[in-house]
Amino acid sequence: MKKLAVQASISTAVLLIVIKAFASFLTGSLAILSSMADSLADAVSSLITFIAVHYSNRPFNQSHRYGYGKLEALSALIQAAFIGGSAGFIAYDGIYRFIHPVTMDITFTGVLIMLISLLLTVSLVMFQNYVTKRVHSLAVTADSAHYKIDIFSNLGVILSLLIVKYTDWQWFDTVVALIIALYLLRNAWEIVTKALGEITDCEIDDVTKKNILNQIKNIKEIKGCHDFRTRLSGNLLFIELHLEMDGNLSLFEAHEITELAEQKIIELYPQAQIIIHQDPSGIEEKRLDHQIDGL
């Protein structure tokens, strides 16, 4: 599903580049040119995503026992760089046009092409959302994020074309282009933040952690839980925790309880990789929780 989503993204981006280049040639609109530059960055980013998704799905091996999932976060960083670069190009051209105004020739064909671009982008985002709801992928999520921005930028470009055509406010086209550039920069920053969070092993959200703990708290043999930590790598969720049990249990009994806890977590998160350590309840020891709390 991830590969199919990325293939659809690449195909759509290439088609958008062609039709927006034609529309920009017809009208001379900087807003359309900025949208085309964004689509060009999308195409390159989607190609990088495709490569990352392909290699991140490789199975565990001797040299990578945690898999290759973080390649998706790396690809997201590269995408953010391309998006930021596109925004810089648009901003530079926009400032230049304020100094050296350009007269545009807005045609109905240009507006029609941008409407087609809008429909293509909306269709792609709907499909990407369908995929990400079923398979966690930071790369596909990042890819979808800037296509969502494209929806608003396409609407802005269409509005710009209509206003310039019927009011002759040539400057409005440049204003829309600069607004698109700011949206792109914000989008790039959000992608960077998420990608760095995954690369640096940031904890998952509190709701997911609470769900995990709820899965095991009703197992009567478990007296407590500590040193609970998590991280994401691509579509894999890595979970580590210590379970506290009666110290008089046999190793076999402790193992059976641990297996039950793992099974309950996997029922909720099938892609989870779980490591559980058993501790006798009530013992005093140096814990990760103590270090984090400064104790």
Interval 62-108: pLDDT, tens = 888 888 888 878 888 887 887 788 778 777 777 777 776 666 555 67
* SS3 state of residue 280: strand
CA 111 to chain centre: 30
Evaluate whether 10 touches 50 at the Cβ level (below 8 Å). Answer: yes
Which domains can be identified in the chain, with CATH numbers?
Answer: 2-199 (1.20.1510.10), 206-293 (3.30.70.1350)
CA distance 120 to 40: 15
The H or E element that residue 244 is part of is strand 236-245
State the pLDDT at residue 152.
72
CA distance 279 to 246: 8
State the pLDDT at residue 66.
81
Q: Report the largest interatomic distance among the alpha carbons of the chain, rounded to a whole angstrom.
A: 85
User: The whole model's pTM is what?
Assistant: 0.66
Give me the residues of the chain with pLDDT under 70, please: 30-31, 100-107, 136-139, 142-143, 146, 295
CA distance 208 to 220: 22
Between the alpha carbon of residue 41 and those of residues 35, 56, 60, the distances in Å are: 10, 22, 32
CA distance 180 to 94: 11
CA distance 269 to 133: 13
State the pLDDT at residue 105.
59
